[in-house]
Structure 1
Amino acid sequence: MQTNRIQAVAQALPRTRRSQHHALTTLLLILTMAVTAIAVTTAPSRAQIAGPASFADLVDEVGDAVVNITTTSLVATGTGPGPQVPPGSPLEDFFNDFLDQQQRGPNGPAPRRPNALGSGFVISEDGFIVTNNHVIEGADEIMVEFRDGRELAATVIGTDPNTDIAVLKVEPEAPLVFVSFGDSDAARVGDWVMAMGNPLGQGFSVSVGIVSARERALSGTYDDFIQTDAAINRGNSGGPLFNMAGEVVGVNTAILSPNGGSIGIGFSQASNVVAGVVNQLREFGETRRGWLGVRIQDVTAEIAEGLGLDIVTGALVTDVPEGPAREAGMEVGDVITTFDGVEIDDTRELVRVVGGSGVGDTVRVVVYRDGETQTLLVTLGRRETAENVAFPEPGSEQVTPSSEVLGLTLAPLTDEAREANGVEDGLLVEAVDPNSDAADRGLEAGDVIVEVGQQPVTSVDEFNARVDQAEEAGQNSVLLLIRRGGTPRFVALPIDK
């Protein structure tokens, strides 16, 4: 079409000038063809738009590092329910003798040996293997099957139930094919991923999909899961989730399913969490996580207002027992905003970052306190060996009578409340108006109010004074620090104006 237009323009010119424009027409045709060729070359191909034409090369590259895991446990039989025979029945003795013969061997109770199937992957040529802890938990024997059919017995090097990770070791006769961990933080939602393992005991199997979501939490303290729609079923547990570079970015751990089968919602523990755990298990046979020594809770919008924070971020310190944080000068009511250079959005992130830090490391912790930021130097302890500290002895009783404030019936502390909550001073919540904001915020009878507006309180008069100060400052709520069963937490209680 472009050529016809150029020729039409040339024909419309006077004859005397056609020869001059013939060369120009030819040049324009050449330029048009060149531009078209460049456009075709740079345009994305169908394969680029639709994804890789095949995953076969990637499977060949990493497949030999993926293993099937079979475990055996010795369990005494004869402990489960059996046929029910009415007492006094003529068949009662017959059934009892029959069951006794079935459940006992010549030398005592006959064991059964149930097999559990899972997956794993080799991370070193000398035979270190990563899998899920729940795959090998309670096993007496562990066998590892390789893609070529070889089987080797494995020993447990170390386990970490908190992240559901275990490290095994086999003794190969020759160096093994192994894979490396990649950077799970670099994985983007929409990236291709490939899962390999032993689903439903069917042997080596491959499934592909994308990263559906990141930073998912299930129920663990250190959860950082990649969600994927690559098919993951029972038996895939402990197997690797690969990126397109052949790096392990996750360990397939769990699925969300109403029927026990894959519905496209699978979870892989992120490699940046797993790699640190694996290194510690290989070196020490156990985890050695950093310990800050604080109790914390998330910052809500109302709590942020009560603290004077411009944004809802950080981890609010509710208790500082004896430990690294107290020694560094951290206080109740501090909001931890940065830990060792990492900005902290919420409590889950702080727990994960602290747990990934080294025992004995001295780190900079930035806290927000009294409208300003402060930097504390904290030398971390070890979480696994941290001990609870004793609370001070109870103090004397107050004699202030009960009073009602903001839907709360407040009274002096009793010795029983002091002992149960590990405090010396405060106010006891005797009752909560079920129609009040206090009830909506979850306050209950038996709670102990330790602070109001980040100031200690020992009487109802002090409570009222803190509320008045918050109201005069234009705040819509006042921040309470309460203890329930010894566990502290902050509550932003709206002020009834």
Structure 2
Amino acid sequence: MNPGFRRFLILLAVFVAAFLAVFVVRKMQDGSSLMDIITGRDSASDNGNFTLLEKPALNLKDVQVMAAINAESAALVKAVVPSVVSIDTAGVRHERFRDIWGRTWVQPRAVQGQGSGVIVTKEGHVLTNHHVIQGNPRIRLTMHDGSVHSAKVIGSDPAVDIAVLKIDGKGTFVPLKIGDSSKVEVGNIVFAVGSPFGLGETVTDGKISAKKRTFSDSRVDLLQTSAAINPGNSGGPLVNILGEIVGINSRIYSTDKKNPGFQGISFAIPSNAALKTMKDILARGRPIRGFLGMAFEDLDPYTRQEFGYKGQDGIRIVGLVPGSPAMKAGLKEDDIIISYQGTDIDNMRRLIDLIQQSEVDSKVTMEIWREGAKHSITATVGEADNFNQRILRNEEEKATQRLDTQTVLTTIGLVVRNPNKDEISKGVRGVVIDRILPDSKLRGKLLTGDAIRAVNGRPVQNDVDFNARLAASASVQNTELEIHRGQQSFRILLSPVTAK
């Protein structure tokens, strides 16, 4: 054989072998097996053939309980969502700031808000949170069917964080029944309905995780739940398995203050507190507070030793308003109140809340400790506003004996200022304590830099508003201040300022 032709055949054999090797490798990369290549079967042609299962993994009879729960949950949601509305608000907020020359300016800024609400009457009354509509006069409601209505604010209570709206115009409104939150038990299943982030109707479920959660800026103890809520859910209903409202969703717990989000803990205002507030607003145009007319303080070890009191609960009465329901009932200074309507009293905040939530003219029973023995006292609850107005009228008749504003403020010893631009950007509201006078009894209790947000539960607007209301209140009655210090909030009670 010609040597040249032999070399040609060898090169051709090498080329063919290389080509076949590359072909086999590529086929195997595409998922073909060596046998598929040898037999000439193309596995890619099988990709168009598939067989789906026609039966589920379990039969319906195997999961009858879960199927029933599934169907009942869907039925509950279908019955509830037509009563839930999405709330959009718009208004103008006036912000104070100082320029580089130290001058103070007020600049209006358009603000918008978003929340939820629930229809509770056939006439179109809607319950929501006070903070959803606060400072925003233009309110628009989007209903379940997509229709849009305007609404007006009938009244609100910042201390309970409840507002009552009325849908403008006539229509067929589908209300939800307000349930009895006192019957709610830890572990009960609940559903939260609202419009988180403005997404529209959203339903989450969870359980009642705890009851009687106390917050410094709330007059009522809240329900804690595991139902997921987020910004926009505020004001929506928390319902039980019967579709009854047992709470109004109001807040979440979040470690991220700048961008709060659900972390497994949410809170709702009990329906009983929301219903009482609504009835008061519809009947009187404002919230009604119960009143007994006492000043008191928490017990400390020294007081317990001084009076020989060894009980765990209780608060001490340190003053009584003349002619008040408490005085008429026979309560005295240095009495230790142990329980109120069967509820143990472990701090004065709890007693203040219980008294203010009590129905006016209702009779309440208190267990007290006096001079080594327990006694039962029954008192008739009065109305705080009526009693305060009567005190003011009496004081006006005695104007010559009344302390002037400057004397009251000097005696209390607080000098306040409006928050600066930097403090406002950090969320500081109300007024800031600039100085505490040397003779003030509040030294050690309050600090410079503390923010005072409310006087007797009403938000403070500015330093002039604060001084006027503090002087008017402290000259005739006990006065409560809401204090914010960093991330902490608490309240202190000032005794009336009297002439020396």
Give the TM-score normalised by the residue count of structure 2. 0.60
Q: 2:359 corresponds to which residue?
A: 358
Question: Could you tell me which residue of structure 2 aligns to residue 104 of structure 1?
Answer: none
- Mark the CA change 1:112 to 1:333 in structure 2 (over 3 Å): closer, same or farther: closer
Structure 1 residues 336, 46: closer, same or farther in 2, change over 3 A? farther
Match of 2:75 among 57, 61, 85: 57
AA of the residue aligned to 1:286: R
Distance 2:199 2:153 in 1: 24
The answer as to whether partners of 1:126 and 1:171 remain within 8 angstroms in 2 is no
1:239 paired residue number: 236
CA contact (8 A) 2:296 2:319 kept: yes
Quote how far apart the aligned CAs of 1:324 are: 2.4
CA contact (8 A) 1:304 1:312 kept: no
Give the counterpart of 2:87 among 58, 69, 74: 69
Output one character per residue of 1:308-359: Cα deviation in whole Å (capped at 9) or x when no partner.
Answer: 4453123322322333223333222211234345554543432232112233
Q: Which amino acid aligns with 2:293?
A: G
- 1:394-437 Cα offsets, whole Å, 9 max, x none, are 9xxxxxxxxxxxxxxxxxxxxx99x9489xxxxxxxxxxxxxxx
Looking at structure 1, the residues matched to 161 and 356 of structure 2 have their Cα atoms a distance apart, in angstroms, of: 15
Secondary structure of the corresponding residue to residue 70 of structure 2:
coil
Task: Establish whether residue 120 from structure 1 lines up as the match of residue 137 from structure 2.
Answer: no
Distance 1:64-1:446 versus aligned 2 partners, 3 A rule: closer
CA–CA separation in structure 1 for the residues paired with 2:308 and 2:130 = 44
> In the alignment, is the contact (CA less than 8 A) between 1:123 and 1:129 conserved in 2?
yes
- Does 2:126 match 1:129? yes
Checking the alignment, whether the CA contact within 8 Å between 2:140 and 2:151 is kept in structure 1 is: yes
Whether 2:210 is the aligned partner of 1:213: answer yes
CA contact (8 A) 1:154 1:170 kept: yes
Cα deviation, 1:380-400, whole Å, max 9, x if unaligned, reads 32223544798xxx9xxxxxx
CA contact (8 A) 1:238 1:251 kept: yes
TM-score by length of 1: 0.60
Report the AA paired with residue 318 of structure 2: T
Size of the aligned set, in residue pairs, is 338
Residue matched to 2:283: 283
- In structure 2, distance between residues paired with 1:349 and 1:176: 38
* Cα distance change on mapping 1:229 and 1:485 into 2, 3 Å: closer
1:172–1:360 distance in 2 versus 1, CA, 3 Å: same
Match of 2:15 in 1: none
Mapped contact 2:195–2:202 kept (Cα < 8 A): yes
Distance 2:373 2:343 in 1: 19
Unaligned ranges ≥5, structure 2: 1-61, 101-106, 396-400, 402-406, 414-437, 443-491
- Tell me the residue number matched to 2:267: 267
How far apart, in 1, do the equivalents of 2:92 and 2:339 lie?
49
- Residue 305 to residue 62, structure 1, CA distance change in 2 (3 Å): farther
Equivalences for 1:244-259 in 2 at 5 Å?
244-257=241-254, 258=256, 259=259
CA contact (8 A) 1:293 1:320 kept: yes
**Identity over aligned residues, as a percent?**
33
With over 3 angstroms needed to count, the CA separation of the structure-2 counterparts of 1:487 and 1:76, relative to structure 1, is closer
Moved more, 313-322 or 235-244: 313-322
In the aligned structure 2, how far is the partner of 1:305 from the partner of 1:48?
60
Q: Which moved more, 1:294-303 or 1:145-154?
A: 294-303
Are the structure 2 counterparts of residues 174 and 364 from structure 1 closer, same or farther at C-alpha, using a change threshold of 3 Å? same
**Contact 1:421–1:485 (8 Å) recurs in 2:** no
Do structure 1's residue 170 and structure 2's residue 148 form an aligned pair?
no
CA distance change for structure 1 residues 312 and 73 in 2, over 3 Å: closer, same or farther?
Answer: same
Q: 1:211 to 1:124 in 2, by over 3 A?
A: same
Report matched runs for 1:37-186 at 5 Å: 52-53=69-70, 55-74=73-92, 113-186=110-183
CA shift in 2, pair 1:373/1:421, >3 Å: farther
User: Residues 66 and 146 of structure 1 are in contact (CA less than 8 Å); yes or no, is this contact kept in structure 2?
Assistant: yes
Q: Which amino acid aligns with 2:81?
A: G
Report the CA distance shift for 1:324/1:244 in structure 2 as closer, same or farther (over 3 A): same
Match of 1:311 in 2: 311
What stretches of structure 1 of length at least 5 have no aligned partner? 1-44, 85-109, 395-415, 423-443, 449-483, 489-497
What is the SS of the residue equivalent to 1:73? strand
The match for 1:4 is: none
| Residue of structure 1 equivalent to 2:186 | 189
The CA deviation at 1:208 is 1.1
CA contact (8 A) 1:212 1:228 kept: yes
One-letter amino acid matched to 2:336: V
Instruction: Evaluate the alpha carbon distance shift between residue 181 and residue 264 of structure 1 in structure 2; reply closer, same or farther with a 3 A threshold.
Output: same
Native 8 Å contact 1:224 1:273 kept in 2? no
Equivalent residue number for residue 438 of structure 1? none
Q: Deviations over 1:35-59 (max 9, x none)?
A: xxxxxxxxxx977699933521111
